[in-house]
Amino acid sequence: MISVILTGTGNVATHLFKACYNCDEIEVKQVFNHREDSLKYFADYTATTTSIEEVKDADFYLVAVSDNFTQSSCEKLKNKPGIVAHTSGSQALPEQDNSGVFYPLQTFSKSKDVNFQEIPLCIEGRSAEAADQLLKLGQLLSQNARLLSGQQRQKLHLAAVFACNFSNHMMSLSEEICRENDIAFSLLQKLILETAQKAVQNAPAQVQTGPAIRGDRETLKAHEEALRDKPNELEIYKLLSQSIKNHGNKL
């Protein structure tokens, strides 16, 4: 039986906890967090503690806390016997020996269940041995666990910001335009899902549509005019239209 101790109680920690808890070959020995109230959920299933002194010995310590605290949380565990790995896409490998990264590439919300087996797990180890052990743990949880260098992981995280965070913000601005004009945002639902499906099935640059790639100056002008009272959206509209045009010319 592989023993795991989790640090953190947020979205990533919760989903990682569920995945480990539901795996017959893994025992979640303890959940550690500085805030008592956030441990309530986990206390129904396993031991919990708010004190670093009470943290038990285990094979793995998975640190799923916000990026600002990732390195200090790993550092606190440096004298523990097992491998200490954080789950951040953007943070560097911890300095200490016997450490690694265990980065599940997915956005999580606490209320929505996910099939962890389908989530890409990006793994890095300070030593070949640590990488190997983390990969084995990862393969118990996901069918898509793989080694990725720190450099690649950070670029992947950056790529995810563009593909997911920024595209969500585009939908958010879209929803606002609909709301301000008494249009049901649900009209766009199928179009949005279709856009995402087309983008992942092809190279997205090859399926770019819209006035910018068509060089439809009349529509671009009309849209800019329609955004004259929304300077932030206007600036985004101009910059992205220009970027689409430039990329179109490179194809």
Q: Which is nearer to a second copy, 44 or 182 (CB)?
A: 182
Q: Which of 203, 228, 229, 249 binds a second copy (CB under 8 A)?
A: 203
In the list 32, 100, 169, 249, the residue contacting a second copy (rule: CB under 8 A) is 169
Q: Which distant-in-sequence residues (6+ apart) come within 8 Å of 124 by Cβ?
A: 93, 100, 101, 131, 134, 147, 148, 149, 150, 153
Closer by beta carbon to a second copy, 6 or else 121? 121
User: Would you say 4 or 105 has its CB closer to a second copy?
Assistant: 105
Q: Which of helix, strand or coil describes residue 69?
A: helix
69 in Cβ contact with 86 (< 8 Å): no
For a second copy (CB under 8 A), the number of binding residues is 91
Q: Does 47 bind a second copy (CB under 8 A)?
A: no
Which parts of 136-155 interact with a second copy (CB under 8 A)? 144, 148, 151-152, 154-155
- CA 231 – CA 217 distance, rounded (Å): 20
Selected from 107, 117, 127, 143, the binder of a second copy by CB under 8 A is 107
Min dist CB 84 to a second copy, Å, is: 20
72 binds a second copy (CB under 8 A): no
Taking the C-alpha atoms of 86, 159, 20 and 80 in order, what is their torsion angle to the nearest 10 degrees?
-10
The two structure tokens encoding residue 29: 């020995």
Is residue 10 close enough to count as binding a second copy by CB under 8 A? Answer: no
**Candidates 46-54, 65-73, 74-82, 130-138; binding stretch for a second copy (CB under 8 A):** 65-73
* By CB under 8 A, residue 23 contacts a second copy: no
Cα 234 to Cα 205: distance, rounded to the nearest angstrom: 23
Q: Which of residues 227-246 bind a second copy (CB under 8 A)?
A: 227, 232-233, 235-237, 239-240, 243-244, 246
Quick check: 187 binds a second copy (CB under 8 A)? yes
Quote the tokens at residue 226: 């329609």
β-bridge pairing 99-104 and 121-125: antiparallel
Q: How far is the CB of 33 from a second copy (least distance, A)?
A: 18
Least distance between a second copy and beta carbon 216 (Å): 5
Residue 133 Rama label (left phi>0; alpha psi -120 to 50; beta)? alpha
User: What's the rounded Cα separation, in Å, for the pair 240 and 156?
Assistant: 21
